[in-house]
Chains A and B, each alone.
Chain A
């Protein structure tokens, strides 16, 4: 695989990310750059919808590496995150050998049972085997302590040892991006191995730029109005302040309705794209619509 050379400095990386449609700020570009050159996992925290997962995808595009995503949840086990043996096929293999009366050499038969072709690689193993790659461990705060423990093991030396097969090592450690919505405090031991970055909502200009880049069909005027209204909504102390993802949903909802600019009526009809709590919707609707969505 032809590898694009690594960006020379954070600015070059920011430029490359911009070319893929992801608009990072200075801190995020520095964080991603350091993750690449220091070969340290990048731990991203921030409100939902600020672009944590999108960064991993953009980095994969910039570096030309394949991306492997592991969605975390409580009870996630090694057999879903690392590897598993394909027991069904192993059984079939055994039966086939039996039928062919090839069971003479038991040792050879046993060895053939634990062949690489019966091993099901899960995201962590895939990312190590297909090196160099990008490994996205999404919403790590949803996993439990047991998972954190073996993630720690993999991230500390980028090897996975399989008792029946041997140790699998990545030639180049994958670029690891861990995201967390902070529903719970992730263990310090894990964070210590990572670069930590807290993502903020973008400012007005960058939000407009993001909307324009991601949704080129939306008019400049509409993008500015949506970004402005989203910014005001964030200042309202809502239960769930809208993120960039919601702003994009909103803009494309408005565009789908044929809107070229935001007016109070359209805003009220599409509010479900930005606000996800009834209490928030009630509050915003009770406010003077003109103040929020006018001009």
Chain B
């Protein structure tokens, strides 16, 4: 455990409450900048906790804040860093410079130089628009011009991802199904103690969890933007049962960021959370990290897990094969989305794909909007 620094700003003698409040508010700001959402009611709880402990004791202040402001293990490292920085008088460390965010957004620009600028300023003809949309739906997103990409973003809003369903343990009243003894008797009481009708109940279907693992390594960069937009639509449709992680050289959970309503803001937020954009790929290791930290605990259990990657694995593929097998034992279904599968004559020859194939329930393309529509169907039918 990190040894907390000594408080330098709070007064050494007497400590008027106003001073403490100002210090705590300043600390909360630092913490928010570090990415821990320290909401006002939590800050109030921290002040209350400090009141119950010793204000002058750095360790007490450290625990008072950690217990009230953090809400998950991911927050703890950030809290420790912010605490050390703030109470040691260092400048608050931001997670990433704003310049990086700009760069991230630039990723959605074409990587190959666009040519078709002539058709971009076509007249707004409705019928023509409809057929253009139709053409756009089937185009490979890697080959679009800047304006076509803008158009496609609009079409993403039209995706309607349906959730796969499962039976739950929670029951609901129903005309059929097993007899609900309590309700039957309750009804009998109303009828003067005479059982006149049997009441029934049956399992209520619930949406199954969907987990998206999106490869953001260099070889996938033409598709990363589209895949994240697809993920955004999926998260917005079912926020409670959809989880999104990006994989590359590291594992990053971007579910929280993608819950923002505006797709561009959501993408910018998740972009700044992802430290390994366009880096290399270590699929096996990152998949293992996912299964160790999230999957086995419950995130992957009984879920539909969708891996979006081209299967380029730098190292050996044994680890990947092993982890894919582990994933398929935990998950309800494993779907692999490979953008290259949409190309004519594609064969899954890369080592990573070969290693993953035996553990897959479905292997689909993910290069165009039409392919994404098909993917939503595959997920819903799992």
Contacts and interface: CB of A to CB of B under 8 A. Distances in A.
Is the A/B pair a real complex? yes
B155 to A, nearest CB: 31
Contact of B73 (A45, A91, A144): A45
A95 B73 CA distance: 57
From B63, B171, B192, name the one whose CB has the most chain A CB atoms within 10 angstroms.
B63
B14 to A, nearest CB: 20
B132 interface: no
A209 interface: no
B208 to A, nearest CB: 13
A38 interface: yes
Nearest to A203: B1
A35 B193 CA distance: 47
A37 B1 CA distance: 25
Contact of A198 (B49, B76, B168): B76
A101 to B, nearest CB: 14
A139 to B, nearest CB: 11
Interface in B152-194: 168-171, 181-182, 185-186, 188-189, 192-193
Nearest to A200: B1
B270 interface: no
B67 A75 contact: no
B109 interface: no
Contact of B52 (A37, A45, A88): A37
A107 to B, nearest CB: 14
Given A31-B67, A34-B53, A188-B71, A183 B297 contact: yes
Contact of A191 (B48, B71, B189, B298): B71
B168 A74 contact: yes
A185 B75 CA distance: 13
B64 A26 contact: no
A131 interface: no
B240 A75 contact: no
A74 B42 contact: no
A74 B170 contact: yes
Contact of A27 (B1, B206, B298): B1
Nearest to A94: B193
Interface in A252-268: none
Contacts of A159: none
B63 A192 contact: no
B70 interface: yes
B169 A73 contact: yes
A87 B49 contact: no
Nearest to B253: A185
A147 to B, nearest CB: 9
A182 interface: yes
Contacts of A94: 189, 192-193
B64 A183 contact: no
From A9, A37, A87, name the one whose CB has the most chain B CB atoms within 10 angstroms.
A87
A75 B167 CA distance: 11
B301 interface: yes
A286 to B, nearest CB: 15
A185 B240 CA distance: 9
Nearest to B299: A184
A30 interface: yes
Interface string A102-145: 00000000000100000000000000000000000000010011
Interface string A8-32: 0110000000000000001100110
A138 B337 CA distance: 38
Contact of A95 (B170, B182, B193): B193
B147 interface: no
A98 B189 CA distance: 13
B39 interface: yes
Contacts of B59: 26
Interface in B38-94: 39, 41-42, 45, 48-49, 52-54, 59-60, 63-64, 66-68, 70-73, 76
A73 B52 CA distance: 35
B175 to A, nearest CB: 20
Contacts of A182: 73, 297-298
Contacts of A145: 240
Given A91-B185, A192-B71, A196-B71, A183 B49 contact: no
Interface of B: 1, 39, 41-42, 45, 48-49, 52-54, 59-60, 63-64, 66-68, 70-73, 76, 168-171, 181-182, 185-186, 188-189, 192-193, 206, 240, 292, 296-299, 301
Q: Which 4 A-B pairs have the closest CB atoms?
A: A183-B298, A75-B169, A87-B185, A75-B170
Given A45-B73, A145-B240, A239-B292, 8 more contacts: A38-B49, A73-B169, A87-B182, A90-B189, A95-B193, A182-B73, A196-B67, A198-B70
Interface of A: 9-10, 26-27, 30-31, 33-34, 37-38, 40, 45, 73-75, 77, 79, 84-85, 87-88, 90-91, 94-95, 98, 113, 141, 144-146, 181-185, 188, 191-192, 195-198, 200, 237, 239-240
